[in-house]
Amino acid sequence: MREIVLDTETTGFDPSNGDRIVEIGCIELVDHVPSGKSYHCYLNPERDMPADAEKVHGLSIGFLSDKPLFADVAAEFLEFIGDAPLVIHNAGFDMKFLNAELGRMGAELLPFERAIDTIVMAKVKFPGARYSLDELCKRFAVDLSDRTKHGALIDAELLAQVYLELLGGRQKTFSLAPTGVTEMHAENAVAVRQRPEPLPVRITAAELAAHAAFVTKELGEGALWKKLETPAAI
């Protein structure tokens, strides 16, 4: 199964107020594991960069001024994501920005149903906890040492690790062995001890006779019950 972990950086919070995407980062997952393929681009937003936004991601207009427009990379971006589900932290934010950019160029919008929102997953798994990407990375011991500012690609890489943890952890697959215990739990295994002396049979002779009469009457002489031995000691 193919999925795309996606993140964007923007000039602000609301595309309806003229805010634009300035960076897109994507990580391809195959069966929930990064495949090594990624997509990344910086974009010229064709507007100024508010100081508060620049503090978050560190992208200045001077840096972005010679970068392509969204319309220039849209075909390449859409080809990369294909029809795969989109794993996004706070999906409503990124999806509205992507659809604003697509709508601006008259392209087909991305259906929101394609998005897997990791905030929703975290709320189900950890009710009442904090759900920021930073907090979830700390909870799952995901290394944040390389992240000094928000960046779409590095945040997508971090989110891919968090997503796997939210699905059930890095040891997601396992085998059911017919004997013994798995290596993961071997240190916690407890040996099953046999009783030195078996317990006495607790069924009385009268109860056995009554049961035999019931079987003969209701099930007949050929009943399988009659082929069973008298209950042994447990």
Is 230 part of any domain? no
Work out the average pLDDT over 123-130: 94
Is 175 part of any domain? no
pTM for the structure as a whole: 0.72
Is 228 part of any domain? no
Work out the average pLDDT over 40-50: 97
Work out the average pLDDT over 147-173: 85
The tally of domains found in the chain comes to: 1
Residue carrying structure tokens 């805010």: 19
94 band by pLDDT with thresholds 50, 70 and 90: very high
Is residue 85 pLDDT above 80, yes or no?
A: yes
Q: What is the pLDDT of residue 225?
A: 63
Where in the sequence is the domain holding 137, given as residue range(s)? 2-167
Which whole-number Å values give the CA distances from 202 to 89, 193, 208, 232, 233, in the listed order? Answer: 61, 22, 11, 10, 8
184 band by pLDDT with thresholds 50, 70 and 90: very low
Is 207 part of any domain? no
Is 194 part of any domain? no
Is 23 part of any domain? yes
Provide the mean pLDDT of the chain. Answer: 86
Active-site positions?
A: 150
Is 156 part of any domain? yes
Q: pLDDT for 56-65, tens place per residue? A: 999 999 999 9
Domain CATH number, residue 147: 3.30.420.10
Q: What is the pLDDT of residue 185?
A: 44
Residues 52 and 12: their CA atoms lie apart, in Å, by 8
Is 203 part of any domain? no
Of 71-80, 192-201, 205-214, the poorest mean pLDDT is in 192-201
Residues 87 and 138: their CA atoms lie apart, in Å, by 19
